[in-house]
Structure 1
Amino acid sequence: MSLKITVIGTGYLGATHAAAMAELGFEVLGLDVVPEKVEMLQRGEVPMYEPGLEELLRQHVAGIEGSSGRLRFTLDFAEAAAFGDVHFVCVNTPQRHGEYAADMSYVDAAIASLAPHLDRPTLVVGKSTVPVGSAARLAAYLAEHAPAGAGAELAWNPEFLREGFAVQDTLRPDRVVVGVRSERAEGLLREVYAMPIAAGTPFVVTDFPTAELVKTSANSFLATKISFINAMAEVCEAAGGDVAKLAEAIGYDDRIGHKFLRAGIGFGGGCLPKDIRAFMARAGELGADQALTFLREIDSINMRRRGQMVEMAREALGGGAFLGKRVAVLGAAFKPDSDDVRDSPALNVAGQIHLQGGQVTVYDPKGMDNARRLFPTLGYADSALDAVRGADVVLHLTEWREFRELDPAALGEVARGRVILDGRNALDPAVWRKAGWVYRGMGRPTA
């Protein structure tokens, strides 16, 4: 008999995981506590922009013509417990308000709501990013509160989704990591991931603490790499170097590589910033805080980049106040191919300039609605051309392909001042200068 899978929490991670499990051939029941979200998903619609996700969802949601019918959604924990053999917990772990630590209330609530209904042997699998030590605590809670007792096992299977690539990262992951305490748990997860494993995906079996540490340590390494090249950009600004050429040169060393070496206004989003902070907080609780003190500087470098872009804009406008100046901001999402504006460096820069008296107009291909909700006092345009109209300076802050393909000459016709500040070092300086623009990249004072 084929395994039946539930996915608890149908946000970005959960909706993607549910659709992918259905694509892999399983019957799937997604659960959420927000009725509007469940209704939306049941119509085959997703509450966020993620390339390919809505199409994949519509191929499997029951009731949609032509779908496999393998995917349904519910609000009922009892229904989920009765349905599933393997329960994936995919709820959010945001930064705790006023602290660095992770807020575990959503994970705890999901386990507490599911446990009383687990009356037969089952496997609960955590995918959320949690502080190390959480899995052992939750496993003990399950054993105590589930009617099935020790038959209600826990495993930890961290997610490694990249926004903009979430569907392929789920269907064709670069690795599957499982923290387990029994051969049965390992066997069930090998069955769940049989297709990716058969296609060559490495399957790493480990204990609970190591599985929990994999995600936070991976994100910490990536954040370190980004902040390293941004620190080099600061040195290049002072020394008259070109950080883009520096990154190209060091990237040819295969011990370093080119990925994540593009200097700019830094990282944001719902993962890297809060994950490195939660990692520091947890290390402190474990008495290992000195091991991660370097992450404080990584965070500091990253946040400093936003202020440096504000100062670059001030310099471009003559070095005085922003009052009465029109500033166009291209980008609102924290990265391209996403509508996620959580901790977006682009919106942070736009907001800082606005607070200092600048008249800011923002355009983003997908993030406009979310940006308006977060920063309702900023100006918004329906196109890049409209955003640039009358602008004294243009800031390129999210590296959408649409922005790389803009016609600088057409934009120059409507801008008041032909000055472009490239906060992602992703535009071609020669193309913009040929159209009469002053181009300035971060960490590239002479480029």
Structure 2
Amino acid sequence: MTLRITVIGTGYLGATHAACMAELGFEVLGLDIDPEKVAALSAGQVPMYEPGLGELLLKHVAGQAGSTGRLRFTTSPEEVADFGDVHFICVNTPQKKGEFAADMSYVDAAVDSIAPHLTRPTLVVGKSTVPVGSAARLADRLAELAPAGADAELAWNPEFLREGYAVGDTLHPNRLVAGVRSERAERLLREVYATPIAEGVPFVVTDFPTAELVKVAANSFLATKISFINAMAEVCESAGADVVQLSQALAYDDRIGAKFLGAGLGFGGGCLPKDIRAFMARAGELGADQALTFLREVDSINMRRRSRMVELAREQCGGGFLGRRVAVLGAAFKPNSDDIRDSPALNVAGQIQLQGAQVTVYDPKAMDNARKMFPGLSYAASALEAVEGAHVVLHLTEWQEFRELDPAGVGALVAERRLIDGRNVLDAAKWREAGWTYRAMGRPGVE
């Protein structure tokens, strides 16, 4: 008998996981406490921008013309418990207000909502990023609340999705990690992921704490690599060196590699910042805080990038922002996403506005979210509209659309041809040839 899958929580992770499980051939039921979100998903409407997800949703949501009908959504925990053999928990674990620690209330609520209705042997699988030690606690809670008792098992299967590539990362992951306590749990997860495993995807079986640590350890390493090259950018600023050339030279060493070695405005989003902070907090609780003190500097370097961008913009505006117009290209924390959580671009835009500039923002996908979070900023319908009359243009999210801008055409619209490339990806020579003053962090000689 083919397993039936449920997904608890239908945000970015959950909606993607549910659609991809349907794509793999399973009947899937998604659960959310928000009736409006359930109604939208049931109508084939994606709650966020993620390339390929909308098409996948329409392909499988029941009731859509030509769909497989394998995917449905509900607000009923009872229906989910009765339907599913394997239940994936995909809720958020944001940073607690005023603390570094992760807020586990959504995960706890997910377990508490479904456990009392689990009357037969079943597997609950956590995919959320949680502090190490959470799975063991939740396994005990599950067995305590479920009528099935110990037959309601828990496993931990961390997600490794990159926003903008989430569909591909789910269907064709670079590895699968399964934290389990029984052969049955391992067997069920192997059945769920039979297709990618058959494609050669490594399936790593671990205990609970190791599985929990994999995600935060991976994000901490990536954050460290980004902050390392940004620290080198600070040194390059003082020494007159070029951090882009430095990165290129380092990348030839295959022990280092080129990925995540691009200096610029730093990282943001809903994962890396809060995950490294939660990791530090949990290490402190475990008495291992000294092991992760370096992450404080990683975080500090990252936040300094934003302040440095504001300083560069002020310099290009003649030392002050009053009466100056600043165009900000980018609002999402990264391209191919509409996610503005902890967005470096909007953080910089907000700081500059507070210091007296008139700031106009444009982003290909994140405008609606940006308006809700930063209603005081001005917004334009296009990049060309955003730059009209600007004294300086800031390139802060590396959308392909911005790389393809014509420097001469943009130059005809601005008050002054001054550009700061916050992502070090634009063609500096092309912009200078069109009469622009080009500036980038870590490249003081490239003007």
Q: What TM-score, normalized to structure 2?
A: 1.00
Identical counterparts, % of pairs: 78
Corresponding residue pairs, total? 446
What is the CA distance between 1:229 and its match in structure 2?
Answer: 0.2
Amino acid at match of 2:193: Y
Tell me the alpha carbon deviations over residues 399-431 of structure 1, each in whole angstroms, 9 at most, x when there is no partner: 000000001111100100000000000100011
**What are the equivalent positions in structure 2 for 1:150-161 lying under 5 Å apart?**
150-161=150-161
**What are the equivalent positions in structure 2 for 1:307-346 lying under 5 Å apart?**
307-319=307-319, 321-346=320-345
Match of 1:185 in 2: 185
**What are the equivalent positions in structure 2 for 1:9-408 lying under 5 Å apart?**
9-319=9-319, 321-408=320-407
Amino acid at match of 1:396: H
Q: 2:256 and 2:66 mapped to 1: Cα distance? A: 47
Q: 1:405 and 1:14 mapped to 2: Cα distance? A: 34
* SS of residue in 2 equivalent to 1:332: coil
What is the CA distance between 1:434 and its match in structure 2?
Answer: 1.2
What is the CA distance between 1:382 and its match in structure 2?
Answer: 0.3
RMSD: 0.4
What is the CA distance between 1:317 and its match in structure 2?
Answer: 1.2
What is the CA distance between 1:435 and its match in structure 2?
Answer: 1.0
Tell me the alpha carbon deviations over residues 291-311 of structure 1, each in whole angstroms, 9 at most, x when there is no partner: 000000000000000000000
Tell me the alpha carbon deviations over residues 205-260 of structure 1, each in whole angstroms, 9 at most, x when there is no partner: 00000000000000000000000000000000000000000000001000000000
What is the CA distance between 1:441 and its match in structure 2?
Answer: 1.2
* SS of residue in 2 equivalent to 1:10: coil
* SS of residue in 2 equivalent to 1:394: strand
* SS of residue in 1 equivalent to 2:87: strand
Q: 2:300 and 2:441 mapped to 1: Cα distance? A: 17
Q: 1:323 and 1:446 mapped to 2: Cα distance? A: 27
* SS of residue in 1 equivalent to 2:312: helix
* SS of residue in 2 equivalent to 1:337: coil
Match of 1:432 in 2: 431
Q: 2:317 and 2:257 mapped to 1: Cα distance? A: 37
Instruction: Could you tell me which runs of 5 or more consecutive residues in structure 2 were left unpaired when the two chains were aligned.
Output: none
What is the CA distance between 1:318 and its match in structure 2?
Answer: 1.4
* SS of residue in 1 equivalent to 2:296: helix
* SS of residue in 1 equivalent to 2:249: helix
Amino acid at match of 1:384: A
What is the CA distance between 1:361 and its match in structure 2?
Answer: 0.2
Q: 1:29 and 1:182 mapped to 2: Cα distance? A: 25
Q: 2:235 and 2:317 mapped to 1: Cα distance? A: 23
Q: 1:170 and 1:57 mapped to 2: Cα distance? A: 14
* SS of residue in 2 equivalent to 1:414: coil
Q: 1:290 and 1:402 mapped to 2: Cα distance? A: 44
Q: 2:383 and 2:411 mapped to 1: Cα distance? A: 12
Match of 1:417 in 2: 416
Instruction: Could you tell me which runs of 5 or more consecutive residues in structure 1 were left unpaired when the two chains were aligned.
Output: none
Tell me the alpha carbon deviations over residues 112-168 of structure 1, each in whole angstroms, 9 at most, x when there is no partner: 000000000000000000000000000000111100000000000000000000000
